[in-house]
Amino acid sequence: MSDKQIILNTVAQIDDATSYEEILYALYLQYEVSKGIRDMEENNVKTSDEVKEIIKKW
Confidence of residue 1 (pLDDT cuts 50, 70, 90): confident
Confidence of residue 25 (pLDDT cuts 50, 70, 90): very high
**Overall average pLDDT of the 11-15 stretch:** 95
**Overall average pLDDT of the 19-28 stretch:** 96
What are the φ/ψ torsions at residue 17 (nearest 5 degrees)?
A: -85, 0
* pTM of the predicted protein model: 0.71
Report whether 22 contacts 10 (CB < 8 A). no
At position 50, the amino acid (one-letter code) is: E
- Please name which of 14, 44, 41, 47 lies closest in space to residue 28, comparing C-alpha atoms: 14
**Overall average pLDDT of the 26-47 stretch:** 95
